[in-house]
Amino acid sequence: MSPDGGRVVHGVDYLEKKRVSPEPSHFLSLLHKIKDLSFRPCNNEYGGFLQVSMKLEMKDSPGQLVAALKPISDVGGNIIAVIHQRDPDPDGDTLNVQIVLELPKGRLDNLIGLLKEQGVHIQRIGEERLLYQRTVILIGHLMHTGFSDTVDQIDSTGFAEVTDVAMSMPAISDRSSSRITIKAVSRDDMEAALAILRRVARQKALLLIEPLEDTA
């Protein structure tokens, strides 16, 4: 991620200096970046933090953005990224920004209240506690071998969760296939979760198909 062209920037000062109106196609690629950002590696103290993405609408007047974002530091949060887009509508008196931030757990309501006081309209808000996502496929006698136990082995870790399951079961005696989405807080946690799944798959004679990651 680079601050090139002021599209994705760190910090408010920089933001105020560089205002750009990306084209719609640009904006899509920016959204894409934000998605990547939410999977960035994070440190251990992350456990106490919550990562949130918000889409904000505010009046487009000088200093407004800085004022609007001030409550974030007031509640002890950090801005991870700001995507800045001038309102495409002709009057152009509102400003839309998408921000990704992290803040201590339990402070979100506080922040929402403070933002409202600043006259900022929150269009959308998404909580993202679990930052890493991997999808794997399991093939075998999934039901006979206790599928809920397989899922439990991940869920009970506390650092990773099975968030989505798609299952296909042909005849009762045939092997079934399932697609499992796992989320974890950090890359190491994801690795640990996958290691558990590998062990369970071996014990239950299931075929585990993992995604190919760039290895180096």
Partner 1 sequence: MKVALIGLGSVGRGVAEMLAKKDLGLVLTGIADSKSAFMDPAGIDIARVLAHKKKNGSCGDQNLTAEDIIKKADYDALIEVTPTNALSGEPAIGYMKAALNRKKHVVTSNKGPIALAQKELRAMARKKGVALRYEATVAGAIPVMHTLEHGLAGNEILALYGVLNGTCNYILTRMAAEGLTYEQALLEAREMGYAEADPTYDVQGIDAAIKLVILANTIWDNGVKLGDVDRTGIDLLTPDALRLADEEGCTIRLIAEANPKKHLLRVSPRILDKNHPLVFEGTLNALTLETDMAKEITLIGRGAGSIETASAIIGDLLYIRDRYVERA
- 3-class DSSP assignment, residue 140: strand
List 20, 66, 195, 207, residue binding partner 1 (CB under 8 A): 207
Nearer to partner 1, 110 or 177 (CB): 177
Should residue 36 be labelled a site residue for partner 1 when binding is judged by CB under 8 A? no
**What angle is formed at CA 38 by the lines to CA 199 and CA 215, rounded to 5 degrees?**
45
Task: For the CB of residue 200, give the shortest distance to partner 1 in the complex, in Å.
Answer: 16
The amino acid sitting at 170 is P
Contact assessment for residue 177 and residue 137, using Cβ atoms and an 8 Å cutoff: yes
List 55, 129, 141, 175, residue binding partner 1 (CB under 8 A): 175
- DSSP letters of 49-70? EEEEEEEEEEE--TTHHHHHHH
List 170, 171, 172, 173, residue binding partner 1 (CB under 8 A): 170
Should residue 195 be labelled a site residue for partner 1 when binding is judged by CB under 8 A? no
Interacting residue ranges for partner 1, rule: CB under 8 A: 135-137, 139, 166, 168, 170, 175-179, 207, 209-212, 214-216
